[in-house]
């Protein structure tokens, strides 16, 4: 289980993420998943909200993004970004695993740069399996792990690999 990092460490991580966000086309990462207007998306471990915001723009008012993080500052930063972009379709969840969402209620889960925080992510993957719709997609990318991602995600038989796109691995429920 991951531990809550200090506020100063979270601020430093957010600073590093802001540099990454200059180098990475965040819209492209989200677009290549095929998110549609009206979709329900969970950004698990949203950090400062880099991907929650482009996802919320695509799903629009008929859809919803749940931005979940263990750290209160993550939700604060994401809220600020949402307000700056005049987005009202993001809801915030403070949690280290349980989402509180209904069974089979989510179309897409973003699970970006989480594996290095959760070296044993099986508890979280079980929860994501529960809330994803039967055809829902779990999207995973991680700076530390690349080739290891398929085996880490499929280890407990919750998910199978659907496809590998340019920037991430996409999994569906087994
Ligand atoms: C490296 S950041 C990635 C942020 C974001 N996904 C991105 O790619 O920009 C990892 C985030 O996961 C959060 N986190 C760590 N353990 C968690 C857990 N068990 N449940 C939810 N969030 C967690 C941290 O607070 C941090 O915001």
pLDDT tens digits for range 111-154: 999 998 886 899 999 999 999 999 999 999 998 888 899 999 99
**CA 34 to ligand 1 center in whole angstroms:** 23
Model confidence at 16: pLDDT above 80: yes
**CA 169 to ligand 1 center in whole angstroms:** 18
The protein residue with its alpha carbon nearest to ligand 1, atom 16, reads: 2
Assigned CATH for 7-173: 3.40.50.150
Model confidence at 3: pLDDT above 80: no
Phi, psi of 146 (to 5 degrees): -130, -75
pLDDT attached to residue 1: 46
Residue to mutate (ligand 1; options 70, 75, 92; most atoms within 8 A of CB): 70
Least confident span in 2-11, 95-104, 105-114, 133-142: 2-11
pLDDT attached to residue 35: 96
């Amino acid at each position: 289980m991951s531990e809550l990092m200090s506020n100063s460490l979270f601020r430093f991580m957010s600073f590093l993420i802001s540099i990454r966000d200059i180098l990475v086309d965040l819209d492209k990462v989200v677009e290549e998943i095929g998110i549609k207007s009206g979709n329900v998306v969970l950004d698990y471990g949203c950090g400062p909200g880099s991907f929650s915001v482009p996802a919320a723009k695509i799903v629009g008012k008929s859809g919803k993004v749940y931005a979940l993080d263990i750290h209160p500052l993550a939700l604060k930063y994401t809220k600020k970004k949402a307000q700056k972009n005049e987005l009202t379709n993001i809801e915030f969840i403070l949690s280290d695993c349980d989402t509180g969402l209904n069974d089979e209620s989510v179309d897409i889960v973003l699970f970006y740069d989480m594996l290095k925080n959760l070296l044993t992510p099986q508890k979280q993957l079980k929860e994501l399996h529960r809330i994803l719709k039967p055809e829902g997609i779990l999207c995973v990318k991680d700076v530390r792990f690349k080739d290891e991602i398929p085996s880490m995600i499929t280890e407990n038989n919750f998910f199978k690999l659907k496809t590998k796109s340019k920037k991430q691995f996409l999994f569906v429920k087994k």
